Structure formats: structure tokens, C-alpha cells
Amino acid sequence: MRTQVVIVGAGPAGLLLGRLLEQRGIETLILERRSAEYVLGRIRAGVLEHGTRGLLNAAGVGARMEQEGLPHDGVALCFDGEQHRFDFHDLVGREVMVYGQTEVTRDLMDARAASGAATVYEAEDVAPRDFDGDRPRVSYRKDGVTHEVACDFIAGCDGFHGVCRQSPPASAVSSFERVYPFGWLGVLVDQPPVSPELIYANHARGFALCSMRSPTRSRYYLQCDAGTNVNTWSDERFWDELRRRLPSAAADALRTGPSLEKSIAPLRSFVAEPLRFGRLFLAGDAAHIVPPTGAKGLNLAVSDVAYLAEAFGEYYAERSEAGIDAYSARALRRVWKAERFSWWMTTMLHRFPEASAFDRRMQRAEFDYLSGSRAASQAMAENYTGLPM
């Protein structure tokens, strides 16, 4: 078998890259370890930057997002019950779109199925090979039979635990990491959101976030200790704790119900450098992780593959390697800015076990400055709605 680009992973990065390359007339094969149903069942991100929305529309997969998504022109940040709204329209003239990652994934899967482009789900033992030369290959096993695909390029869109970042020699990859001493306990519930906009709360008992997926489906999070067992959190315990951490008006308005999903996500900042190893390229969570506080993970996966699609497009259209040579440095510049913003939001809004009284005052001062300064608010809004791609 032969194709132009083998994409490893059918998450948002892999599927969107496939779509953007298809628009440029470039043939791809996607190899995904899980089933399509499993990929669609993962409840993850929900906030799309202004640029991500534009890109999905340009890729021809934005129609349902425009119909069913919820444009948001602000968020609220709270500190010990005191609430401040950041008006994105007023501050930077932009907005974000609340539309679940599962829906983005479904739209991309439907578009790919309609185009007839090939995707192999439940591909086992995917292995990128010979990517340091100009004849890379990828082998995999499906239903007990081993296959090998020759290609021009391999795109590693296989997430944090994927095989692609592990494939170059360890000495060729530099990793930068911070693991936070807490996680997010998330609950999905079929109840209207407590507020039409997201509420981020820093409370003495820990961080809380009120988010949503639709006018009738809400997503709530609580900061929890690292290593917490999800089974120790009954729905009742979750709702009681959430009420304690929210400003009283929100706590009173909260509508609860049985959780549809409950899970814990660890918080980590991570970047691997570079993003290119010969003819193997990393994109999305395969290359970097942000704590979800700034809602940047999915959006970074989108900007990576937008750059990568441009680079491959340039290679095939003009036989120029300038784009693929520049990819790693170009993508990393944006990645590090999003890492900075996500780390800053996380640091300002969470309770750190080792924090001193001084550290707590610093958090309060940060909140007071941010909510009281138009310049600081604009910087926050600029980052939250998305830096230029």
C-alpha cells in the first residue's frame, strides 16, 4: 500500500489534518487504535477559539457548530465569592464558541466518511519506520493481519500516550514538564447551565468551574487532590462541594441531577521539542499538553495541523520544503504562548497545597489587578479568545 501522508490518530488533530489535506488534493490514510464509537465517547474540551471556529468553517465542517454551538462573548472569574465579568466583545471585539469536542469529532468523521478517504479504526501495533530517510513506512495490524504503508510523510496526531513521540531516539527529544499536585473532577449532567457564561472560581476550598455543552447539558468541575479515587465522589457529595465553592447567587441557581459521566483529569503542562524528526511530524497532544484551565488543548491541536497542512500543501504544490522546515519553530512559538496562558490561569485560580499566606495574597492581587485594569483584562481576553494563528 502507498499513500502521501499517513496520519496516526483520529482525534481532532488527525481528523482535521486529514480534512485540510483533502482540500489540497493530498491523499491520506488515518490509523486509529480505538473504535470510532470509543473516540466519540470521550468527553473532553468544549471551548473553541475565534480562529478555530473560522478554520472549521473554512474546512467545510462548521455548519452544525454554527447552528447548535453557543457563541459566548464573556466569562466570569470569581475570588472568594466576588465575581467579575470579562466582556470579550468590549475588550477585544471577539468571542468564543462553546461546542463539544465530541461534536467537532463527529462532524469531521462524517465529512471524512462522505469523502471516501480511508480510515482504519482498531489498528493495532502502529509503528512509524524509516522516517529519518526519504522513504518512510508505517506498519500496523488489523484483525490479526500485518500491513505496511509506504508514504512521503507521517503525521503523529496520536495524543499524549501515542507511539509517534516515542519513535525517535530519546536523545533527539527534549521534554519540558510541570505536573500539578491536583486534578479536575468533572461531571456531565442533563440540566441547564447555572449561568449562560462560564464561571471560573477560586475558593479557599479549591477551584471550581461551571461550563456547558448545550442549553440543556452542563459540565462542572472541582479541583481535587492528585490521586483521588472517583468512586469516593457520589453525585450528592459533588453537588454539595460545588455549591460551597460558588458565589451564593450561582449556588442558589444550580440545578442538579444524576451524572451522565464523572471522571478525573490530571493537570499537567508538557512540551516536547522539536516537532519534526526527518519525515515524522508531531501535532496536538502528541507534542504538548496544557492544563485545561485556559481551554487551549483542542485549540492548539487545531493551530498545529493548520500549519502542518499549509507546509505539506506547499511541498506538493511547489516542491518547496520551506514550510516543512519551518513547521516546528512556527508551531512551537504559538504552543509556548498558550502554555504560558494556561499555566498563568491555573496558578491564579487553584489552591496549591504548598501555598503560603503570601502566595494567597499574590493570587488575590493578581485577581484585583486583572479585574481592575482594562489593559490586563484585554490581555486576558486576547489570549482566551485565541492569539492569531
Binding site for ligand FAD (CB under 6 A): 8-14, 31-34, 39, 44-46, 101, 123, 126, 157-159, 161-163, 265, 284-285, 292, 295-298, 301
- Beta-carbon contacts of 135 under 8 Å, excluding residues fewer than 6 positions away, are 150
Q: Which residue has the cell 447548535?
A: 68
Annotated active-site residue in 72, 203, 288, 350: 72
Residue 120 has a CB neighbour count (10 Å cut-off) of 16
Q: How far is the CB of 373 from ligand FAD (least distance, A)?
A: 26
Instruction: Map residue 92 onto helix, strand or coil.
Output: helix
200 noted as active-site residue: yes
Grid cell digits, residue 378:
484585554
Q: How far is the CB of 356 from ligand FAD (least distance, A)?
A: 29
Grid cell digits, residue 238:
459533588
Select 221 or 239, whichever has its Cβ closest to ligand FAD: 221
Select 239 or 341, whichever has its Cβ closest to ligand FAD: 341
Select 224 or 295, whichever has its Cβ closest to ligand FAD: 295
Instruction: Map residue 237 onto helix, strand or coil.
Output: helix
The DSSP 8-state label assigned to residue 130 in this structure reads -
Q: How far is the CB of 207 from ligand FAD (least distance, A)?
A: 13
Grid cell digits, residue 339:
502554555
Q: How far is the CB of 198 from ligand FAD (least distance, A)?
A: 10
**CA-CA-CA-CA torsion sign (39, 40, 41, 46):** positive
Select 315 or 341, whichever has its Cβ closest to ligand FAD: 341
- Beta-carbon contacts of 56 under 8 Å, excluding residues fewer than 6 positions away, are 16, 48, 62, 65, 104, 107, 302
How far are the Cα atoms of 161, 285, 340 from residue 378, in angstroms, in the given order?
36, 28, 16
384 noted as active-site residue: yes
Q: How far is the CB of 375 from ligand FAD (least distance, A)?
A: 26
End-to-end Cα, the chain, rounded Å: 35
Annotated active-site residue in 180, 315, 327, 384: 384
Annotated active-site residue in 50, 180, 292, 350: 292
Select 245 or 262, whichever has its Cβ closest to ligand FAD: 262
Instruction: Map residue 73 onto helix, strand or coil.
Output: coil
121 noted as active-site residue: no
Q: How far is the CB of 347 from ligand FAD (least distance, A)?
A: 17
Select 275 or 371, whichever has its Cβ closest to ligand FAD: 275
**Whether 212 contacts 69, CB under 8 Å:** no
Q: Which of 234, 243, 241, 242 is nearest to 262 (CA)?
A: 234
The DSSP 8-state label assigned to residue 287 in this structure reads T
Helical spans, DSSP H, in 24-100:
36-41, 50-58, 63-68, 88-92
Any idea which residues carry the catalytic annotation?
Answer: 72, 200, 292, 296, 384
